[in-house]
Structure 1
Amino acid sequence: MAGDRRGWRVCLLGGAVFAVCMTGTTLPTPLYPLYQQKFGFSELTVTVVYAAYAFAVIGVLLLAGNASDAVGRRPVLLWGLGCAAASAVCFLCATALGWLYAGRLLSGLSAGLFTGAATAYVMESAPPGGTARATFVATAVNMGGLGCGPLLAGILAEYAPWPLYLPFATHLALVACSTAVLLRLPETVAERRPLSTVRPQRPGVPPRVRPVFGPAAAASFVGFALFGVFTAVSPAFLAEYLDVTDHAVSGLVVALAFFSSTGGQLAAGRVGTVRALPLGCAGLLAGLALLAGALHRDLLSLVVLSAVTGGFGQGLAFRGALSAVSGASPPDRRAAVISTLFVVAYLGISVPVIGVGLLTGPMGLEGAGLVFIACMGVLVVASTGYLLRRPVPAGT
């Protein structure tokens, strides 16, 4: 019993460190309108600054996604916290647009280092028989941390002084505390190798996995794209079209999408993979439809419903996609296939968002948003149709 309590304590402390790192990645979300006023850049620039984070995550996943298997979890997590701290410093020093790009790139590096290493650490720290609960802890702190970022920054920007500085100073303090905690936690990798043994991972999908991977990747792409648009564009839409200038409200709307994703991922464990993926696609489609209604009718209530419904659908679909792809993959290719799925997902959080930014100039934010929704809707409908004709096997 004492060993179990200690294991869960380490698991939860590792999860708390994970949450702090992920909080920093979404911290600038409600602050983008303030940066636009300060530096005078366009909505396209906002989306490119935001997408720089995703490209950094993809780079780390491809080049060093398996580094913690060799050198240990704690060293990689410490590197991630170092990048998170450097990102906060960049935002604190932001006197020009280049600082924002640097801050987002460093934030992406921290998330890329943490995504695999922290998930593995939380699961490996759990006592025997606790894998399912530890998996949910890792999922919850990941999405929960992403949701806490805009909520924390929005509240501080609205109700405290120095809106462009206090959120990052607060996060820097949290990173320092997390570093102190991590230094006291045990390592979970027994046999460690030199960093020189780490090789870039080559994404790949074996032929037998492709029938499952196609719809799973499409659903993941759309779900992360929806998150990307909410995170990068919704504060500007709320301010310009709904006259919502309260930064706390903007942050809460984005946070609801991430918190709802956690609920969707919890529900996915109960409904099973066979139903989670098509049900998640249905939730994503409903979320897109509600977002279209919000853009057309300029209603805050529909924006909130879209965040909750789309976030829940994303959680269902993504956990279903991970389970289906992992179950269909041969053991010796599983890590590469899952890395490929994450690369597709992070492309979804970046490329469509930049497209929205490009279309905002000639079409306006509403028109660009509707084009995005139409394109994502086609992908979701195609994936859902495929899954109804060829359901994911129950054994995956």
Structure 2
Amino acid sequence: MDGHLRGWRPCLLGGAVFAVCMAGTTLPTPLYGLYQEKFGFSELTVTVVYAVYAVGVIGMLLLAGDASDVVGRRPVLWWGLGFAAASAVCFLCATALGWLYAGRLLSGLSAGLFTGAATAYVMESAPPGGASRATFVATAANMGGLGCGPLLAGVLAQYADRPLYLPFGVHLVLVACSALVLLGLAETVPRRRPLSAVRPRRPGLPPRVRAVFGPAATASFVGFALFGVFTSVSPSFLAQSLDVHNRAVSGLVVALAFFASTAGQLAVGRVGVSRSLPLGCAALLAGLALLAGALWWELLPLVVLSAIVGGCGQGLAFRGAVSAVAEASSADRRAAVISALFVVAYTGISLPVIGVGLLAGPIGLEGAGLVFIACMALLVSAAGVYLLRRRPVPATEAGGGR
């Protein structure tokens, strides 16, 4: 047993570093109301500040999505931790709105480096025969870290002093600890090239991955769009419509969606990768319906249920998507293909959120949310039908494998 655990040690430690980085990206979620009071900006500005993060992620994925395939995983993870630390410093120094934009952009750059590189590192450092469990570790670290961010910030903001500073100070300490962990981890890319070999690439996929990538990306877009709305505007809805001003509760509601995603990912091992995608779309549709009910009747229990059900659906779809594209990719293109999947996912987490912010002014936050739900319900229904009619090609048929 001890030997077995030692074999998993690099994989689990890599997942822990991944989780710390991703937690920093959602730390501001329960704090946006405090920033609105401090700087006096609108709900639209909240969504734009949030979406700047996605711009950073997508930009980094497009410019350097395959960087870790070229220079190695560890150098890219070092840069990611550096951007995460710089983001925390921006929030600690925030005396004007521009600091928030800078902090979110740096956070996006960090996540853009980590998503492909850390996912590939965790999968490659697993013991032989552990590919399925390693995929769960990677996706659980991603979503679990995203969930811990708002929970940590909400609890500290509600029950400790200096709510706009302490969460980011704590995160800086965690980033420093992650750097120490990274020092002891081995590189998994055997043949590395210099940084000058990294070239920006237009989005593209190896031919053998395309049959898997289409349905996987569709499901990822919808799941991340739902998470984007939860993360950016749900604290405002809870405060304005449900009179919930406890920031720990707001952070917990958002965290539940990400933790439920981890549970959904765990279920993929039982239902199978191909079935998890359409099942995930069905659960996402149910989560959207519950969220519509929460907005219409202004009921907190329905908000909680929508977070749990929608999160499970996102987890089912997302782990199935990552597994499918990773297993269909060759080792030297795996991080690049995973990064391409995240480009689609983070497009979903940004554009619909800005749309909600634009509509919140003229028709109110509830009305904007209902319009969003209607659009996403149509999309997820179409995606579900597509997935049922055209099942993804198994990795072995696509010519993939580790």
Counterparts of 2:206 and 2:307, CA distance in 1: 35
Please say if residues 260 and 315 of structure 1, whose CA atoms lie closer than 8 Å, have aligned partners that are also in contact.
yes
Please say if residues 81 and 179 of structure 1, whose CA atoms lie closer than 8 Å, have aligned partners that are also in contact.
yes
Alignment match, 2:349: 349
Alignment match, 1:64: 64
Alignment match, 2:102: 102
Q: CA deviation at 1:322?
A: 3.3
Counterparts of 1:210 and 1:119, CA distance in 2: 20
5 Å-filtered alignment, 1:148-297, equals: 148-205=148-205, 213-297=213-297
CA spacing shift, 1:161–1:76, aligned 2, 3 Å:
same
CA spacing shift, 1:152–1:386, aligned 2, 3 Å:
same
When structure 1 is superposed on structure 2, of 67-76 and 356-365 the one drifting more is: 67-76
* Percent identical: 80
Please say if residues 204 and 336 of structure 1, whose CA atoms lie closer than 8 Å, have aligned partners that are also in contact.
no
Q: CA deviation at 1:14?
A: 1.7
Please say if residues 273 and 392 of structure 1, whose CA atoms lie closer than 8 Å, have aligned partners that are also in contact.
no
Alignment match, 2:122: 122
Q: CA deviation at 1:272?
A: 1.2
Please say if residues 116 and 339 of structure 2, whose CA atoms lie closer than 8 Å, have aligned partners that are also in contact.
no
Deviations 1:140-163 (A, max 9, x none): 111110000000000000000000
Alignment match, 1:373: 373
Q: CA deviation at 1:72?
A: 1.9
Amino acid corresponding to residue 320 of structure 2 in structure 1: G
Q: CA deviation at 1:389?
A: 2.8
CA spacing shift, 1:276–1:179, aligned 2, 3 Å:
same
Alignment match, 1:140: 140
When structure 1 is superposed on structure 2, of 238-247 and 319-328 the one drifting more is: 319-328
Counterparts of 1:208 and 1:130, CA distance in 2: 23
CA spacing shift, 1:2–1:319, aligned 2, 3 Å:
closer
* Count of equivalent residues: 396
Amino acid corresponding to residue 302 of structure 2 in structure 1: L
Deviations 1:113-159 (A, max 9, x none): 11111122222222222222222111111111000000000000000
Q: CA deviation at 1:273?
A: 2.4
Please say if residues 3 and 127 of structure 1, whose CA atoms lie closer than 8 Å, have aligned partners that are also in contact.
no
Q: CA deviation at 1:324?
A: 4.2
Amino acid corresponding to residue 170 of structure 2 in structure 1: T
Counterparts of 1:212 and 1:131, CA distance in 2: 18
Amino acid corresponding to residue 282 of structure 1 in structure 2: A
CA RMSD of aligned residues (A): 2.1
Deviations 1:211-265 (A, max 9, x none): 6544433321111000000000000000000000000000000000001111111
Amino acid corresponding to residue 247 of structure 2 in structure 1: H
SS of structure 1 residue aligned to 2:188: coil
Please say if residues 202 and 336 of structure 1, whose CA atoms lie closer than 8 Å, have aligned partners that are also in contact.
no
Amino acid corresponding to residue 53 of structure 2 in structure 1: Y
CA spacing shift, 1:65–1:128, aligned 2, 3 Å:
same
> When the two structures are superposed, what TM-score results if normalisation uses the length of structure 2?
0.93
Q: CA deviation at 1:76?
A: 1.1
Q: CA deviation at 1:341?
A: 2.5
CA spacing shift, 1:77–1:325, aligned 2, 3 Å:
closer
CA spacing shift, 1:177–1:302, aligned 2, 3 Å:
same
Please say if residues 66 and 198 of structure 1, whose CA atoms lie closer than 8 Å, have aligned partners that are also in contact.
yes
Q: CA deviation at 1:340?
A: 3.0
CA spacing shift, 1:281–1:365, aligned 2, 3 Å:
same
CA spacing shift, 1:219–1:30, aligned 2, 3 Å:
same
Amino acid corresponding to residue 271 of structure 2 in structure 1: V
Counterparts of 1:99 and 1:358, CA distance in 2: 22
Amino acid corresponding to residue 13 of structure 2 in structure 1: L
CA spacing shift, 1:173–1:272, aligned 2, 3 Å:
same
Deviations 1:336-362 (A, max 9, x none): 554333211110000000000000000
Counterparts of 2:352 and 2:198, CA distance in 1: 32
Please say if residues 121 and 188 of structure 1, whose CA atoms lie closer than 8 Å, have aligned partners that are also in contact.
yes
Alignment match, 1:358: 358
Alignment match, 1:31: 31
Deviations 1:180-230 (A, max 9, x none): 221122222232211001112321257786665444333211110000000
SS of structure 2 residue aligned to 1:245: coil
Counterparts of 2:393 and 2:254, CA distance in 1: 34
Counterparts of 2:206 and 2:22, CA distance in 1: 31
> When the two structures are superposed, what TM-score results if normalisation uses the length of structure 1?
0.94
Counterparts of 1:311 and 1:76, CA distance in 2: 29
Counterparts of 2:79 and 2:369, CA distance in 1: 37
